[in-house]
Amino acid sequence: MSSLGVDNSSPTLLDVCNLSVKFGGLRAVNNVSFTLARGQISAIIGPNGAGKTTLINLLSGELTPDSGEVCHKGDVITGLPAHSIAARGIGRSYQIINIFPEFSCFRNCWLAARGRYGSGMEFFCPANHDEKSNIAAAESLEIVGLLDKAYLPASHLSYGEQRQLEISMLLALKPEVLLLDEPLAGLGMRESSDVLRLIKNLARDHAILLIEHDVEAVFAIANELTVMVNGEVLETGPPDRIKESGAVRHAYLGNGI
Amino acid sequence: MIVLPPRPILIALALMVVAFALIPMTGDKYWIKLITRMFALGIFAMSLDFLVGYTGLVSFGHAAFFGIAGYTLHLISPENQAPNLAWVLPVSVFASAIMALLIGALSVRTHGIYFIMVTLAFAQMLFFLFHDSNIAGGSDGAFIYNKPVFTILNWTVFDLGNRYALYFLSLLSMMTLYLLLTVVLASPFGAVIQGIKVNEHRMRALGYNTYYYKLISFVIAGAIGGYAGFLFACIDGFVSPELLGWRESGLALVMVILGGVGTLFGPVLGAITLLGAEEIFRDRSLVGPLANYWQVLMGVFVIIVVLFLRGGLGGQLLQFVRRKKEQGL
């Protein structure tokens, strides 16, 4: 029987090479390189201001790097606008909840699914006749357990549920690469473990880049850890090795580990 | 996405349309002309609401498209013969749409206050182009001597020189365009532009090239604004640079806000209310000597409505119906 774990023959989906960006005199991200393959959860940890979110913004097209290259399945995607990158199947979630509060949960996910399955350039056919997007939206709500709240306005959800909706929208987009920016921020214990289980399940057929402050959670699910500080990669490797690296522990993990 | 208002409001709107359909029976020239103007400006305000209330683009230059269609009608009409509506109307609307495409392509890239300023600047450029040149009589404006007639194979169906024909064409156009816009707003395109209004950044992250959606929305609004301008030019048979000016753009915004942003039927009520209020405040027998200061009265009226009727007339109606429904349950 073949194992369901990390498959070494799986293709690299994202290849990041010497990525750098400066904000004025500040090197927010400096010479960062890594690869991301299907079946892999790669986590980035580091103190505030280390450039983690900036890195995600560079990968998702919301920022353009000053130098370096991002390749998706062999195509250079550096400098492409955010909508083109999303359309290629690289989806991201946000650290700060970024949803459509006045729309229903279903509509939030429908917009994501529609962006993937067809354009919005259809003017006379009612939106709710688009079966494909309807099903994808419903499925993605079911995965995170929000299906029974599908027709509530997103603003009526609790904070934790809004985070789940955020992930649900990302799933409706059907990306291959998931860029998760602190998906556990502000969640309670139970919600956190739900989301972690979800991420672990998704890792089977997605490539996941995870930014997270919850170090214990990260060590539990990541295959690879990258420690960033001041925009630079300090150390990369499997969680066990990072754990043993004294310098990293002392500087960034505190005394708790 | 629910775009059509709840049934009680639809019924009220339908009754209003029936009442409007009966008014011409009085044969009162003044009223017919006034109400035709309400219809044309109602369409104009509705088209602006499509931009402001549903796409989130606050344009302060919407009159550009209103005026361009009127000027196009003047410029393409032969001097001694009535043109056929079947081609002058599409050509005039098309001219507005092209102008909206040009202005939109440059202005839709900007956001917020910059968008307001850029659209205003473009509209003022057009205003001065017509004001300071000899095109169509310059600052004096120009007459449309022969109003369009609608003929099919030598058979004249109606003549817009006839005030009843213009009245009913305007009423019918207003209803048709309202339904057309509700259909578009319920379509995938409508869902996307409403998404852009709420959170454009997120829409881009979901794979939508928001620029094109905003541009198309701008062109749709411009074309319908042009349709309104065409009808308006037919009412007086006269075009002047004021049609393109910032006052006209501002007036449309006041109608939208008065009527209720993002309700589509509200701005039509806003246009009717604003023109109706003007009639009342200018009437000496109703307000006495204050009629000399009717513009002050208008200002007070608009301030009161905006301060005390949150969401405008349309928003208040929607709230009222919702509250009644909750009480009934």
Concatenated DSSP letters of A145-188? T-GGGTTSBGGGS-HHHHHHHHHHHHHHT--SEEEEE-TTTT--
Task: Name the β-bridge partners of A70.
Answer: A16
Q: Which of A60, A103, A128 sits opposite B205 (nearest CB)?
A: A60
- Read off the pTM: 0.91
* Mutation target among A92, A105, A119, A174 for the B interface, most CBs of B within 10 A: A119
Give CATH for domain B7-21+29-326.
1.10.3470
Nearest CA in chain A to B183: A124
Could you tell me the two tokens for B235?
């009412």
- Rounded to whole angstroms, how far apart are CA atoms B35 and B296? 23
Please tell me if residue B189 touches chain A, with a CB cutoff of 8 Å.
yes
Could you tell me the two tokens for A90?
């690289």
SS3 for A32?
A: strand
Phi, psi of A70 (to 5 degrees): -120, 125
pLDDT of residue B143: 86
Helix runs in A72-227, H state only: 82-87, 105-117, 131-144, 159-172, 189-202, 215-221
Averaged confidence pLDDT in chain A: 86
Strand order in the sheet with A26-37: A26-37, A12-23, A67-72, A75-76
Please tell me if residue B187 touches chain A, with a CB cutoff of 8 Å.
yes
Does the ipTM surpass 0.95? no
Q: Which of A81, A111, A123 sits opposite B206 (nearest CB)?
A: A111
A126 and B187 within 8 Å at the Cβ level: the answer is yes
- In 3D, which of A71, A39, A3, A11 has the Cα closest to residue A207? A39
Q: Which of A86, A91, A120 sits opposite B191 (nearest CB)?
A: A120
B186 and A126 within 8 Å at the Cβ level: the answer is yes
CA distance B210 to chain A (A): 8
CA distance A255 to chain B (A): 38
Task: Name the β-bridge partners of A20.
Answer: A67
SS3 for A10?
A: coil
CA distance A61 to chain B (A): 9
Give the CA count within 13 Å in the CB-facing half-sphere of A182: 18
Please tell me if residue A132 touches chain B, with a CB cutoff of 8 Å.
no
Please tell me if residue A163 touches chain B, with a CB cutoff of 8 Å.
no
Q: How many A-B residue pairs are in contact by the CB < 8 A criterion?
A: 95
Could you tell me the two tokens for A146?
């929000």
| Percentage with pLDDT > 70 across chain A | 91
Please tell me if residue A5 touches chain B, with a CB cutoff of 8 Å.
no
Distance of CA A2 to the CA centre of its chain: 28
Please tell me if residue A151 touches chain B, with a CB cutoff of 8 Å.
no
Cβ atoms of residues A40 and A15 within 8 Å: no
Picking from A12-21, A85-94, A248-257, B294-303, which range would have the lowest pLDDT averaged per residue?
Answer: A248-257
Cβ atoms of residues B70 and B229 within 8 Å: yes
- Rounded to whole angstroms, how far apart are CA atoms B67 and B271? 17
Q: How many Cβ atoms sit within 10 Å of the Cβ of residue A35? A: 15
Please tell me if residue B206 touches chain A, with a CB cutoff of 8 Å.
yes
B216 and A121 within 8 Å at the Cβ level: the answer is yes
Per-residue pLDDT tens digits of chain B, which is 329 residues long: 557 888 889 999 999 999 999 988 887 889 999 999 999 999 999 999 999 999 999 999 999 999 999 999 999 988 888 888 889 999 999 999 999 999 999 999 999 899 999 999 999 999 999 998 888 888 888 888 888 889 888 888 888 888 899 999 999 999 999 999 999 999 999 999 999 999 999 999 999 999 999 999 999 999 999 999 999 999 988 999 999 999 999 999 999 999 999 999 999 999 999 999 999 999 888 888 888 889 999 999 999 988 888 889 999 999 999 888 888 76
